[in-house]
């Protein structure tokens, strides 16, 4: 289902009854003026799976994942592949749309993986190699009282939270999976992971140029595996006495490689 973005707020609100509205999640996507409906965990799966409008991988609950070693860390549980992809050009902006996001603390990251042979449905999510294309964390102040991007992204006026990410201009044309992850740190030493994935059909890129051989191996990550069990950026108590004056935060998952012509401004 593709509709002008100006109808997105009305339609998405109508499509998100019950607990999904109360908690929040990645509800849909926009590219330019076109809106793409996402999966809704509060709607029966038989009304969504294999429907030609579905471009997002299945996630069956609004509850988070609590472990960096979860087998579902890549694309949530169960991560069933959709039948369709979002058309987008290399260098274009895709906006993830969230409703009623409640958590204010923690980093947000966006990742891509190239689908071998342009078959995203056959991708083994636990073996896929992802590279980070966007990140934001603590913007100013201390860990507890400062402003995180996650907090500034929240909306309390009934409008959705919008998370725009620009694809690298140097991508090769073909099919990719985009992964959005919010890591919430509002409970000490109990991180909450909220990943969601959608399929992309990238056009306007460099023909014959894929990720293989382009992104250095140290920037390619697997999920689970990208995060360490003792990572202090994940297992942290922002309310502890030792962090009362901490004003720096290292976003987990390693740095962004900018060799594909990334432009973080949108």
∠ CA 196-200-201 to the nearest 5 degrees?
Answer: 175
Residue 125 buriedness (CB in 10 A; 0-12 / 13-18 / 19+): buried
Q: Is the dihedral of CA 46, 17, 109, 231 positive or negative?
A: negative
Higher pLDDT, 21 or 160: 160
Q: Please give the structure tokens belonging to residue 187.
A: 């409970």
- Mean pLDDT for 150-155 is 92
Which residues are CB-neighbours of 202 under 8 A, at least 6 positions away? 88, 89, 90, 167, 171, 172, 173, 174, 175, 176
Distance, in Å, from the CA atom of 242 to the CA atom of 226, rounded to the nearest integer, reads 26
DSSP 65: B
pLDDT on residue 141: 98
Closest Cα partner for 200 from 156, 166, 153?
A: 166
Element (H, E) at 37: strand 34-37
Listed in order, strand segments (DSSP E) in 115-173 are 130-136, 138-140, 147-148, 161-166
**Strongest mean pLDDT among 111-115, 153-157, 203-207:** 111-115
- Mean pLDDT for 155-166 is 93
**pLDDT mean across residues, the chain:** 89
> Taking a C-beta distance cutoff of 8 angstroms, is the pair 180, 147 a contact?
no
Band (pLDDT 50/70/90 cuts) for residue 100 is: confident
pLDDT in tens, 15-42: 333 333 345 689 999 999 999 999 999 9
pLDDT tops 50 at residue 8 = no
Higher pLDDT, 23 or 81: 81
Percent of the chain at pLDDT above 70?
86
pLDDT on residue 167: 96
pLDDT in tens, 180-211: 999 999 999 999 999 999 999 999 987 655 56
Closest Cα partner for 101 from 57, 145, 137, 155?
A: 155
Integer-rounded Cα radius of gyration of the chain: 18
DSSP 27: E
Distance, in Å, from the CA atom of 166 to the CA atom of 110, rounded to the nearest integer, reads 10
pLDDT tops 90 at residue 259 = no
pLDDT tops 60 at residue 7 = no
Higher pLDDT, 238 or 14: 238
The owner of tokens 């920037």 is 219
């Amino acid at each position: 289902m593709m509709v002008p973005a100006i109808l997105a707020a009305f339609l998405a609100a109508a499509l998100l009854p019950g607990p999904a509205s109360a908690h929040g999640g990645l509800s849909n996507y926009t590219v330019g003026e076109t809106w793409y409906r996402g999966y809704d965990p509060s709607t029966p799966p038989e009304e969504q799976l294999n429907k030609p409008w579905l471009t997002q991988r299945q996630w069956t609950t609004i509850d988070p994942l609590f472990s960096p070693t979860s087998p579902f860390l890549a694309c949530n549980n169960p991560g069933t592949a959709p039948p369709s992809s979002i058309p987008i050009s290399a260098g274009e902006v895709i906006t993830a749309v969230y409703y009623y996001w409640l958590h204010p603390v923690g980093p947000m990251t966006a990742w891509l993986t190239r689908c071998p042979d342009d078959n995203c449905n056959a991708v083994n999510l636990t073996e896929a190699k992802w590279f980070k294309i966007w990140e934001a964390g603590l913007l100013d102040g201390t860990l507890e009282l400062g402003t995180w991007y996650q907090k500034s992204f929240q909306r309390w006026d009934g409008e959705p939270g919008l998370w725009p990410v620009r694809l690298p201009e140097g991508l090769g044309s073909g099919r990719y999976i985009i992964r959005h992850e919010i890591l919430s740190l509002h409970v000490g030493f109990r991180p909450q992971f909220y990943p969601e994935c959608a399929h992309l059909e990238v056009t306007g890129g460099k023909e014959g140029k894929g990720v293989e051989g382009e992104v250095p191996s140290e920037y390619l990550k697997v999920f689970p595996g990208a995060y360490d069990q003792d990572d202090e950026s994940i297992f942290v108590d922002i309310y502890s006495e030792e962090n009362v004056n901490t004003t720096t935060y290292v976003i987990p998952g390693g740095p962004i490689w900018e060799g594909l012509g990334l432009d973080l401004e949108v």
